[in-house]
């Protein structure tokens, strides 16, 4: 299923095709109190999402059928 997500990065709103996502990660140790979600794509692009991270994780977990362990 071809799905796009809209995320907020340092350079502004960014649309990412979920078919290109290889991995996503919420860092456990963050130097600041701000939100952060790292999204890696198949063309070796790294997006640092800085708003609504938990919502984006829920969307991606549902899309990829990932359940909490």
Phi and psi at residue 43, to the nearest 5° = -95, 20
Residue-level pLDDT at 20 = 96
- Per-residue pLDDT at 16 exceeds 90: yes
Convert the pLDDT of each residue in 29-67 to its tens digit: 765 556 899 999 999 999 999 999 999 999 999 999 987
Contact 46, 27 (CB under 8 A): no
Average pLDDT over residues 12-34: 86
DSSP state of 15: E
Residue-level pLDDT at 21 = 96
Residue-level pLDDT at 59 = 94
Residue-level pLDDT at 67 = 75
> Domain coordinates of the chain in residue numbers?
4-63
Contact 16, 58 (CB under 8 A): no
């Amino acid at each position: 299923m071809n799905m796009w997500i809209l995320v907020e990065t340092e350079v502004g709103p960014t649309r990412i095709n979920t078919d290109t996502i290889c991995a996503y990660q919420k860092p456990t140790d963050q130097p600041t109190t701000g939100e952060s979600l790292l999204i890696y794509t198949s063309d070796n692009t790294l997006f640092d999402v800085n708003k609504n991270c938990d919502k984006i994780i829920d969307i991606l977990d549902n899309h990829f059928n990932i359940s909490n362990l």
